[in-house]
Amino acid sequence: MTKQRKVILEELHKVTSHPTADMVYEMVRKRLPHISLGTVYRNLEDLADQGEIRKLSIDGTRMRFDGNPEEHTHIRCIVCGRVDDIHFAPTVSMQDSISDNGYKILGHKLEFYGKCSECRKKDEIMKAKEKKRKSKD
Amino acid sequence: MTKQRKVILEELHKVTSHPTADMVYEMVRKRLPHISLGTVYRNLEDLADQGEIRKLSIDGTRMRFDGNPEEHTHIRCIVCGRVDDIHFAPTVSMQDSISDNGYKILGHKLEFYGKCSECRKKDEIMKAKEKKRKSKD
DNA sequence: ATATTAAATAATAATGATTACTATTACTGA
DNA sequence: TCAGTAATAGTAATCATTATTATTTAATAT
Ligand SMILES: [Mn+2]
Ligand SMILES: [Mn+2]
Ligand SMILES: [Zn+2]
Ligand SMILES: [Zn+2]
């Protein structure tokens, strides 16, 4: 935990705005004027890998970062692009135009992630090989 | 509807793989060897604006395109990155590891989109101005 | 404390996806 | 046939991200 990484994490915890890497860079720069953008990118990546933060792909081309690593739901404005957290228990029909947070909800996006059958097969093969290798010695 | 746009749309309807712009370019090139990548990008954008196709931001940095403009749910493999459609009525608890399509589901992503209160306020102001302008003449 | 080693950084260059530009080509309607 | 318009191919530019490298920092052993 370098001081750069510490400050990046702290700044990300301060906001609920789901900033881009560039925005995080600007935030952190106020406290560490000599930090480089590459360092911000690398630490954001590392923190996301460790599950300390979350990397969001909800915008178009740029990633956004979330200091809250818990799985939760987001709401994005199609006009200005801002992203907010929304309290939502995904149980009943989430159709049509409900209002929450002052938003007029126009639709939703739901995406699962996981491992497909092909990759799971490959996993099994790898595991089998691992077993074989271990039993050899 | 130029022949380029027609072929792009046709090729997109042929597959269920949610290809990137680059992949669409390669597909279309087999039929129109002189088409340029810029034309593919522009037409994909236009088709998406018209609601004929859908532009998906589920990957990291690159966009994917879907010949099916209906709102439906996707499943992505965290290992190989493939994206498939999934038949899912978002009604009950979608927690934990359910299996569908041979996938091992590890989590999901749910995102609403809409208009925030600020932008709706701006809309109201614009509408009011429009009204005023019309009543003037 | 000092030398040694490894890890992380700042600065910069390179890459990859997307968008912008421009001259040329294809269409449309007198 | 002949403008006038819209779309295209080809290319350059931009923007986000990643890779590279020399330098700095931190940790460890002497
Ligand atoms: Mn969030
Ligand atoms: Mn689909
Ligand atoms: Zn807004
Ligand atoms: Zn897979």
Beta bridge partners of A103: A100
Of A70, A95, A120, the domain-final residue: A70
Are residue B1 and residue B65 in the same domain, yes or no? yes
Bigger pLDDT: B23 vs B58: B23
Say what the pLDDT of residue B89 is.
60
Indicate if B34 and B83 belong to the same structural domain. Answer: no
Same domain, B78 and B113: yes
pLDDT of res. B105: 74
Cβ of A63 less than 7 A from strand D: yes
Domain boundary among A25, A41, A70: A70
pLDDT digits (tens, 9 = 90+) for A25-58: 999 999 999 999 999 999 999 999 999 999 999 8
Range of the domain at A22: 1-70
CATH number at residue A112: 3.30.1490.190
Residue nearest to nucleotide C19 (CA to C1'): B38
Residue-wise pLDDT for B40-78, tens only, equals 999 999 999 999 999 999 888 899 999 999 888 888 887
Min Cα separation B32/chain A (Å): 28
**B56, β-bridge pairs:** B64
Name the percent of chain A in helix, strand, coil, to the closest 5.
40, 20, 40
> Please, which pLDDT band fits residue A90 given cuts at 50, 70 and 90?
low
What pLDDT does B111 receive? 74
Pair A110, A75 in one domain: yes
Q: Looking at the structure, do residues A13 and A65 belong to the same domain, yes or no?
A: yes
Residue A89 has what pLDDT?
Answer: 59
**A96-120 burial: b if 16+ Cβ within 10 Å, else e:** eeeeeeebbbeebbbbbbbbbeebb
What's the CA gap between B9 and B66, in Å, rounded?
10
State whether A104 and B115 contact (CB < 8 Å). Answer: yes
pLDDT average, residue stretch A116-137: 83
> Last residue of some domain: B40, B70, B100?
B70
Provide the number of structural domains found in chain B. 2
Are B76 and B26 within one domain?
no
